[in-house]
């Protein structure tokens, strides 16, 4: 399915409630400081979209493309965070980001896997995390991350 083009992608500080943003090409859109409560972004391309400081409380982000999407200081509480593709996304770690967020298995596994890319301060905990994720899934995630980094 081809995404609908959006001519004006400047939504800075605007307020939307329950707005339908589905199936749109929102790449490079500017949503800084916008209120987007319970808006639906399903199947939209959010590549390099800027949501810094936006309020996406209860937003639906199912099957979106998130590549270098910026959610710095954004509220994602109660959102459905289930992107089809995700890489290079910026998210601030705060209660407003994660409280009540519904997350897809894929996104959750990405976040669980990332600490295994670090030099662990405790090899036992790292081993338990690897076991919990599963060796096959870890190997698949390793391939995915390598492919993304090499692009």
Q: What is the pTM of this model?
A: 0.90
Per the CATH hierarchy, to which homologous superfamily does domain 1-103 belong?
E3 ubiquitin-protein ligase SopA (2.160.20.80)
DSSP state of 2: P
In the predicted model, is pLDDT for residue 151 greater than 60?
no
Phi, psi of 149 (to 5 degrees): -65, -35
Give per-residue pLDDT as tens, 29-80. Answer: 999 999 999 999 999 999 999 999 999 999 999 999 999 999 999 999 999 9
Q: What is the mean pLDDT of the chain?
A: 94
Percent of the chain whose pLDDT exceeds 90: 91
Domain ranges of the chain: 1-103, 105-151
Cα–Cα dist 65/146, whole Å: 18
Cα–Cα distance, 97 to 144 (Å, whole number): 25
Long-range contacts of 82-85 (CB under 8 A, 24+ apart): 82/106, 82/107, 83/107, 84/43
Q: Which residues contact 147 (CB under 8 A, 6 or more apart)?
A: none
Q: Report the alpha-carbon distance of residue 82 to residue 77 in Å, rounded.
A: 13
What is each CA distance from 143 to 25, 118, 132, 133, in whole angstroms?
28, 16, 18, 15
Cα–Cα nearest to 57, from 102, 105, 6: 102
Q: Which DSSP category does 117 fall into?
A: G
Band (150; pLDDT cuts 50, 70, 90): low
pLDDT digits over 74-117, tens only? 999 999 999 999 999 999 999 989 999 999 999 999 999 999 99
């Amino acid at each position: 399915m081809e995404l609908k083009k959006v001519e004006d992608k400047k939504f800075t500080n605007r307020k939307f409630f329950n707005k339908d943003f589905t199936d749109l090409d929102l790449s490079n859109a500017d949503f800084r400081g916008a209120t987007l409560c319970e808006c639906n972004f399903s199947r939209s391309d959010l590549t390099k979209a800027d949501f810094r400081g936006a309020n996406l409380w209860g937003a639906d982000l199912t099957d979106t493309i998130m590549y270098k999407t910026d959610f710095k200081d954004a509220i994602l509480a109660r959102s459905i965070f289930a992107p089809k593709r995700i890489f290079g996304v910026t998210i601030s770690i705060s209660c407003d980001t994660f409280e009540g967020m519904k997350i897809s298995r894929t996104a959750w596994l990405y976040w669980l896997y990332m600490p295994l890319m670090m030099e662990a301060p405790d090899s036992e905990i790292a081993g338990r995390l690897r076991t919990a994720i599963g060796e096959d899934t870890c190997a698949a995630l390793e391939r995915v991350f390598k492919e993304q980094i090499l692009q």
